[in-house]
Every structure is written in structure tokens, then in C-alpha cells.
Amino acid sequence: MDLQDDDIFLHLSHRPRHILNGVISVDESTELASTTIQRDSLLGRLDKLPLEVLHEFLSYLDLQSLWRLSRVFLRGKAVVEFLHEYRKLAKFAAHTFKILKQARIVGLYSVSTLYAAFYSKRCISCGAYGAFLFLLSAKRCCFACLVDNQSLWMILLLLVRECFGLTKQQVKALPVMWSIPGKLSSVKAAKELALKVHRLLEELATIYPLDSWNLPTHKMDKFIWYRQAPLDLLSQDPLTIPDANIRPLDEFCGMGSIPFPSLLSGRGSTEPEQGLWCRGCEFTYKECAIEEMDYITLSRLVPPYYRAWSKADFLQHAKHCHSAAAVISQKWIGST
């Protein structure tokens, strides 16, 4: 069957609700609210700078400071809203600003940092297409790594201190976001801080051993996985790691990530991409699962059905997808 691009995008691709609902839900149609100017004034010494220099300076200012500047001075509002990076993000990813504000981390990143993520596409963990933004690093991630790579798990600050032997003062150095369960940081950030404090994991294990006499089994299992979190790019697909199926449940999975568009340079497109998932892989995966094929073998034969693709990569993938023709013939449309 000769697959046409329009049929591939319309009938084979979709954005599955069960995956999008697995991260912080957002309204991607959100627009930035207009700001009220407190006084009509100039920017003082900043007004003496050439506009190009001023924009370069503002692009490295954290979002909290940038917004304050736009609210106080009429000139500041005009300069900020004319900033190229800010205008792009406000147009295509305004929901990101809202979530950062709600999580109380709007002061963590500059507009240039978010803009760099907007123009990237690779998951920070495995290198595949990342349809989500990990809020405590402002880097892209994929759903598979959110589930299977414990360095992207979220952890309560109280557990950080207990697991990694850190004091209340020391954990203040961690990036922290607010959520319904409480203050959360990432396992990767917590482990990196622990290594700075204790230098070696062996030293941590000696000073703060995980004792089954003092810890419930479920907590000790989690602490073991936290301490073993990889800090570098994974060397293989997370779903082919032998222990992926026996890891303890991450009850905060997805609570530190949001859907995030990408504008891929060099493709002649001015519209951002949101990531596409394959109905064909989902169909094949379920059919093989019915036959009780083991998980690791299955993941090697079929790209995981919750893996997202860019549009260009999806067209290439469709040529090799086992069930593409069968699924397209069903004429499915929309999210599932």
C-alpha cells in the first residue's frame, strides 16, 4: 500500500489522552494576560543602550524580573513585548509561563533558556524526540524516560534529606517547585547535590546506610533506586533496560513536566510541532502483548507506542511501521 503523507498524519498519527493526562495538564490555547502599567516612565540608564544591546541583556534576565519590568514602566512593557524570544514563547507556549508561575519557579529561568528548549527536540535523557518540558531543568524529555528513568522522578524535600543525608540548610540549594503534595525537587538534582556534599556514593552509603531495620521495605526500595539514578545520557532505550519492569512505582510521575511545543529549524516551517504518536505501534504492541511476548523482546521489535515523533521522523517511521497500512485503512481520526 502506497502511504500518502496526508493519510499518515490524519489517520496514523494521534495525541493519546492517557499520555497527555500523565503530565501536568495545560490549556495550550492560553494567552498571556495584559499587564497594567504602574507609571509612564523611562528605563533610566537602560534607555541609553542601543535596542539590540538592551534586548540581549533582557534575554538573560529571569522571567520574574522581566515581568516586573514590563509592569512598572510603559517603556519597559514595550521593550519586553518586542523581545523576539519573548514574543515567540508568548505566541506558541504561553501556558508555560502560567505553569511556572503556579509552581513558583518563574524566577528560575531566563527567556533565552526557555527559547533554547523551544528550538530543541531531543529528550535530555535518551535523545529521542521529547514532547515535554521538565520544569526543574527547562530541558526536554520523553514520556518513556519520565516513567523509566528515575533521575527524572520527583521527590519530596523531606525524603531528599532522609535518602541523601542532607541537612535542611543544604537542600535550600535545590531547585524546588510547589505542588499539591508539597515542595518537590528532582532525584537528579538531589543526587548531584549529595555528591557535592559527600563526594562519593560510597561515603554516603557508609554514613547513611539504608537499614532495613529502620526503613519500611517500600521506602528502602525507593531510596535504593533514587541513589542509583543515572546522571548522564542513557546509553540505551529506557524500555530495553532489564530492570525497567521491577522499579518501584513513582507516585509523582509526570508532576514535574508539561507538554511543550518545538520549532524545528531548517525545515522551512514557521509553526511549532507538538509531537505525534503512532496508532500503528499501539495496535501492534497490543496484539503482541495478547500473545504474552516478554516485555523486553516486544520493545525491541516494536517502537514503544507511547513514543512521540517529530513530523519528519514520523513520516520515515510510517514506512516501517508493521501495522501502518492496516490502521490507515480504518480511517481513525483524532485523539484516543
Q: pLDDT digits over 120-144, tens only?
A: 999 999 899 999 999 999 999 999 8
Q: Where are the alpha helices (DSSP H) in 83-176?
A: 84-92, 94-102, 111-118, 143-148, 157-164
Lowest mean pLDDT among 53-57, 172-176, 307-311: 53-57
173 confidence band (pLDDT: 50, 70, 90) = very high
**What is the predicted pLDDT for the residue at 155?**
95
> Would 228 be classed as within a structural domain?
yes
pLDDT of residue 151: 93
- Percentage, residues of the chain above pLDDT 90: 44
Is residue 169 domain-resident?
A: yes
- Shared domain check, 291 and 193: no
* 275/285 Cα distance (integer angstroms): 20
Instruction: Point out the least confidently predicted range of 115-124, 168-177, 289-298.
Output: 289-298
What pLDDT is stored for residue 168 in this prediction? 93
* Count of domains forming the chain: 3
Q: Is 2 part of a structural domain of the chain? A: no
Residue 237: HSE in the Cβ half-sphere, 13 Å Cα cutoff? 15
Q: Do 218 and 312 reside in the same domain of the chain?
A: no
Pairwise pLDDT comparison (242 vs 133), residue with the higher score: 133
CA distances (Å), 286 to each of 181, 282, 304, 330, in order?
34, 6, 11, 17
For residues 250 and 218, the answer to whether their CB atoms sit within 8 Å is no
Q: Are residues 246 and 158 in the same domain?
A: yes
In this predicted structure, the answer to whether residue 244 has a pLDDT above a threshold of 60 is no
Please state, rounded to an integer, the average pLDDT across all residues of the chain: 84
CA distances from 28 to 20, 95, 196, 198, 277 (A): 12, 6, 38, 42, 18
- Whether the pLDDT of residue 34 is over 70: the answer is no
Q: Are residues 79 and 150 in the same domain?
A: no
Residue 226 has pLDDT above 70, yes or no: yes
Q: Is residue 111 part of a domain?
A: yes
Evaluate whether 280 touches 322 at the Cβ level (below 8 Å). yes
The answer as to whether 18 is a domain residue is: no
- Say whether both 168 and 248 belong to one domain: yes
Q: Are residues 92 and 173 in the same domain?
A: no
H helix or E strand, kind and range, residue 314: helix 311-318
Residue 87 and residue 176 share a domain: no
Residue 187 near residue 163 (C-beta atoms within 8 A): no
- Whether 249 and 283 map to the same domain: the answer is no
Place of cell 537602560: 46
| Count of C-beta atoms within a 10 Å radius of residue 7 | 17
- Residue 174 and residue 228 in one domain: yes
Helices 51-59 & 111-118 angle (0-180, nearest 10): 80
**pLDDT value at residue 156:** 94
Domain assignment of residue 185, yes or no: yes
Give dist(CA 254, CA 76) in Å, integer. 36
Compare 66 and 74 and report the one with higher pLDDT: 66
264 in a structural domain: no
Asked if 239 and 153 sit in the same domain, the reply is yes
Owning domain of residue 305: 277-329
**Is there a domain that residue 15 lies in?**
no
Residue 254: closest CA among 177, 160, 313, 159: 177
Q: Domain check: are 289 and 238 in the same one? A: no
The amino acid occupying position 85 is E
Residue 204 pLDDT class (50, 70, 90 cuts): confident
Indicate if 245 and 297 belong to the same structural domain: no
